[in-house]
Structure 1
């Protein structure tokens, strides 16, 4: 034997480990599971993680390559995070190497050392004073000593110019033994400070009851904090975190969108004196690694991040919070298709800490877990302060003329609110000027040349844009079918709504918030600052406005089209529609001004809308859950979706047909019952970005049975002759059936 065999997890979609000999000169004592190593892979070097150490391999030792270099001396991830990643790879039927890669910052995947960037500080040495003889004839050095004396814990090198100091003066003091340079983490705190910067708000009875339950728990507990919009869920989070920090432990807070990060970060930093770090895709690689290390080393007391932050190591974990737990953004839709909310539950169990799942509109899965006794339900039914729930009305727009997607009664009501000095929010979940461009003579519509979808008309700049594959082209000047020049935009998007509102209310600013206007860095923050000023204005936006924002001066919310989700082909459509309407409606009347919500609809008698106008999400959820139970749909059954795509529809269908046959054979040979195969069928949008897509749904009455089948099935599919010619993936617990 030529030494230990390392089983390396490499960032590859293959669900396997790769065997290598240990780097030359290393002993068995130098090796541990969890260390990064650099290895030759094909004609390049890759960074992998040691997943196991063995004394044998299925490959002859003489043919094994030797790992090039050991990068770490201690494992990057604590034991609980290693277990979480291993469980994630197993549950979502994904490669461990790819899973670990998703859990690590980019710089660590490239082999960079796991060290934070160090701040350089200038600090006076004992015996230094402004009248010191060594600087009597050096006014700039004397000024530097005076400035440094006001910063006994050191002045950052990055700030010296702001204080009028020069590097030459400081280096002269250093040579004379009067000053020194020190290096420390940017999150270092020089001395203990009071935990709180501001006094917490006095909780009402419901908030106090929730806090009593949360702070009384020890070890793993899961609480579903269901609070109506504006009920003060964030204050409960803050005071629960205060209790966690007082125990010298750390808190991890997950939020669904990057857009919520600035206001969340500002509120947490205003309350606490401990370092607070953020983790999301908007950071550069260095910022993300620094925050990751600050959390791992225990320097950051609070970690705030989007879904990938669930993999952030904590030195002293104490509490995990998932805000807006129902949000689809917690589900990764590419590659490793994990659900961060579900991983938060498993991680809290592994680390034996408390978990708070917060929402005004809990997911049906969480409500089902309450029914089964897995979660404890804590309810906040009253809005904080003097705020009262908004009144919700449906406006039947049948037979009413619409201009820019809005009816005349709605425009009149908006004018009344604006003239009273208030703000109005108009919600329309479609970007662009119009959903499509149509020829008025022959009915031709502008369609994407790469997708089975219509192009969206944008005005700024003028172009046709496919929101599915990203392709763009110039706006047609005449109909390519009949050569008519009478081309008309059909329907309304945020741009067209903004344009019409500008005509209706020329004296008030119209602020559009969607992915197009918020693309620039800091754009969201500057827009929110304008809104928070309180000046009357109209906000026009998509779902970006629906989540978690506090707009105290919005007194009217208008939902232009509530009908889209009422008859969705996806069984989750009504649930999502109800959540969206309630979340958007919750932006109205959040302070001491009464709020009003107006929903334009052609279906004013629909039961879902009737439930929501009475603020009765519970009754709606009970009815929907009963229907799901009768139909044996999740959460009363378990699903996995096999997706496939290729340049040929025949090849895609052939792969899925043979995959279906293989699954049927496995079901018979493994003697598995209560499993149903649905499909294969073309995806609702069969052609996307020039590739043909289809899917096969597997549904089982028990989770364990589903995973038993998937384990054998996917191993066989990886060896299938078509597996390399078709792009395919498995989505366990899919939330998007399309």
Structure 2
């Protein structure tokens, strides 16, 4: 029987829009009433009615036919010009296809919050001062009796338009500008947005490059696409390579994009870049900015007004019309993968963006991710190495301190405490790494065995003694600290284990003559807090730095000569197959904070299992050998990166519903592609953190020899899952999943 093809029933100018709803398709609308269709361009935002709501949608394309019989008109055009150019739309559409994400949610995720809410882009349009016709006809010395007016006049004669923001940073006062306006020599006009001003920085000349840095720069061609892994030991000068590549593309009038893993690294990076490029505009994009600041920076970048863009993972989706190079610092960091909503990897998108734009991408790390290393070893990426520390710095000496049967004081061995005291007495600095915040990770009753559990998550409550609170670090549930057991009313309550607070108390007591600087999420809640905390350490005075992995990456503190890793064993026995890789990266990164200046460094690693083969391999042969062994193990287990993997996730307050949904999803997928040596299924199985925020979480794992086998299957299961009518159940597809929790 011949299949009937539906007839096109709507013709004319049709707007195909990305609407921010969890449906994997575009929606057709008519143009707003009374609007000239010639004003409509792909990339503009419009207000549209959708299921009784008013939403901000993005115009993806204009077509002349629609298969739908009844179309609603869009309500209002928001933008006079497109916010997303063709290159940005190409990347966003690729994200939706590859990650099996709703296209409307992808476009929404690419926008800063203020623009996502429908704020007009013109709200941040910059005011620019320019000469009038009369002003252009004056000689430079025309206002010699008014030197401040003459200085501004000369600047405008030389440079043309100047933004209000820039004039303010140059010290030109409103009174001087008004005086020129009254003479009808200057006028204000609206123009492109410029990024918020950066803190003033004194220009610094570039340092002398060593031979390895010169070889890396010679190997990167900025005239075409290339993907390069820069594997450089900590302190080898990778940042200087980034700056030289920026310098190269800026000289050609192009933009540079630098991705960093955390906002904590942004202030110091901004300072260094602003000092190197004082004449160029810099835009920062990260979650620590106010809504208005972020929108202003985003618009400046997308309009080509920002020469350098520095940001965390979401910056990868910012339109950059004159992009010249993409740089990813600490490319191995797990924070480059979005874990909810649109589950993209900014590191992987950096390669796609560079390929689309025909520009180079440089992925830098001392401890490359296994995915990137696998691509480099297979020849997909150029593999460059820097083994020499910059300047006079030498690699630190690493020593394991066994603790299994040692008498410990709040988690520290006597040997380690002695070395800390000796280092401080020499006028040097010490960094102590503890990957647990709070006072203690658990509270326990010695009499009945009660443990303070989170009522909403499969986790224990962490004790924060200073705030007299018990907190869940997953859902942020909080309750007052108890002095008696709520189960048997005993007062024999014990704090089990140690965290940064507990260690801070001990170190402040034992080394009272030296400041103890604690760096964790609890002490860095305010804007610029991390920068302020680290300021005394940058001044070079003897001090003790104590903190979590916020201290492990990117910080250059040349007076730190001793690094103490309190517990090296945490990730060696995890159920997550990625845990050994992350443990190795973390230990190597923390160790790299020692001896970055002219003074030699030493690392003391406390371990209850010093004979563990992976720990021995890491400490004796280095991360490169360690990572290659993990790659061989992954290949045998048919796990990423040698195989492609996706998770179909589901969560619900009723665990049986989530399990049933995933059971049916697996049956549906198996009906399309039966299990085979080339494609395998696992699950449903509980997530490592089975319950979070009151919802039980499960997943089905799908592993294939390559991604081409996975993508059609995932597209079909998404279409099947969208018919799910249980509104209390949430589901998602996580392509290239990085977390099993």
- Tell me if TM exceeds 0.5: yes
Identify which of 499, 503, 508 aligns with 2:509: 503
CA distance in 1, matches of 2:322, 2:223: 14
Counterparts in 2 of 1:166 and 1:566: CA distance versus 1, 3 Å = closer
Alignment of 1:519-668 (within 5 A): 519-614=525-620, 616-668=622-674
Identify which of 352, 367, 392 aligns with 1:346: 352
Counterparts in 2 of 1:536 and 1:648: CA distance versus 1, 3 Å = same
Structure 2 equivalent of residue 720 of structure 1: 724
Identify which of 247, 250, 258 aligns with 1:245: 250
Task: Determine if the alignment matches structure 1 residue 93 to structure 2 residue 97.
Answer: no
CA distance in 2, matches of 1:163, 1:218: 35
Which deviates more from structure 2 when the two are superposed, residues 465-474 or residues 66-75? 66-75
CA distance in 1, matches of 2:410, 2:239: 36
Secondary structure at the counterpart of residue 534 of structure 1: coil
Structure 1 equivalent of residue 159 of structure 2: none
Check the 8 A contact 1:436/1:454 in 2, yes or no: yes
Check the 8 A contact 2:14/2:31 in 1, yes or no: yes
Counterparts in 2 of 1:616 and 1:678: CA distance versus 1, 3 Å = same
Structure 1 equivalent of residue 318 of structure 2: 312
**Displacement of 1:2:** 6.2
Alignment of 1:376-391 (within 5 A): 376-391=382-397
Which deviates more from structure 2 when the two are superposed, residues 72-81 or residues 558-567? 72-81
Check the 8 A contact 2:678/2:704 in 1, yes or no: yes
**Displacement of 1:42:** 2.8
Identify which of 726, 733, 737 aligns with 2:736: 733
Secondary structure at the counterpart of residue 394 of structure 2: coil
Identify which of 429, 446, 456 aligns with 1:450: 456
Alignment of 1:412-431 (within 5 A): 412-431=418-437
Counterparts in 2 of 1:178 and 1:395: CA distance versus 1, 3 Å = same
CA RMSD of aligned residues (A): 2.7
Secondary structure at the counterpart of residue 696 of structure 2: strand
Which deviates more from structure 2 when the two are superposed, residues 442-451 or residues 430-439? 442-451
Structure 1 equivalent of residue 111 of structure 2: 104
Secondary structure at the counterpart of residue 518 of structure 2: strand
Secondary structure at the counterpart of residue 258 of structure 2: strand
Identify which of 69, 81, 85 aligns with 1:60: 69
**Displacement of 1:174:** 3.9
Check the 8 A contact 2:428/2:543 in 1, yes or no: yes
CA distance in 1, matches of 2:659, 2:650: 8
CA distance in 1, matches of 2:561, 2:102: 50
CA distance in 2, matches of 1:417, 1:105: 46
Structure 2 equivalent of residue 281 of structure 1: 287
Counterparts in 2 of 1:122 and 1:219: CA distance versus 1, 3 Å = closer
Check the 8 A contact 2:303/2:321 in 1, yes or no: yes
How many residues get paired? 716
Task: Determine if the alignment matches structure 1 residue 681 to structure 2 residue 690.
Answer: no
Secondary structure at the counterpart of residue 47 of structure 2: strand
Identify which of 64, 76, 82 aligns with 1:75: 82
Counterparts in 2 of 1:509 and 1:3: CA distance versus 1, 3 Å = same
Counterparts in 2 of 1:20 and 1:253: CA distance versus 1, 3 Å = same
Check the 8 A contact 1:391/1:597 in 2, yes or no: yes
* Gapped regions of structure 1 (runs ≥ 5): 134-141, 190-195
Task: Determine if the alignment matches structure 1 residue 475 to structure 2 residue 481.
Answer: yes
CA distance in 2, matches of 1:163, 1:386: 38
Counterparts in 2 of 1:574 and 1:166: CA distance versus 1, 3 Å = closer
Structure 2 equivalent of residue 114 of structure 1: 121
Task: Return the TM-score normalized by structure 2.
Answer: 0.91
Secondary structure at the counterpart of residue 540 of structure 1: strand
Check the 8 A contact 1:123/1:182 in 2, yes or no: no
* Gapped regions of structure 2 (runs ≥ 5): 1-9, 157-161, 197-201
Counterparts in 2 of 1:110 and 1:534: CA distance versus 1, 3 Å = same
**Displacement of 1:327:** 0.3
**Displacement of 1:240:** 1.4
CA distance in 1, matches of 2:738, 2:552: 20
Alignment of 1:75-224 (within 5 A): 75-115=82-122, 116-119=124-127, 145-152=146-153, 153=155, 171=178, 174-175=181-182, 177=184, 187=194, 197-214=203-220, 216=221, 218-224=223-229
Counterparts in 2 of 1:131 and 1:149: CA distance versus 1, 3 Å = closer
Check the 8 A contact 2:267/2:528 in 1, yes or no: no
Check the 8 A contact 2:343/2:735 in 1, yes or no: yes
* Cα deviation 1:616-652 (Å, max 9, x = unaligned): 2111111111111111111111111111111111222
Counterparts in 2 of 1:163 and 1:38: CA distance versus 1, 3 Å = closer
CA distance in 1, matches of 2:178, 2:358: 51
Check the 8 A contact 1:397/1:407 in 2, yes or no: yes
Task: Return the TM-score normalized by structure 1.
Answer: 0.92
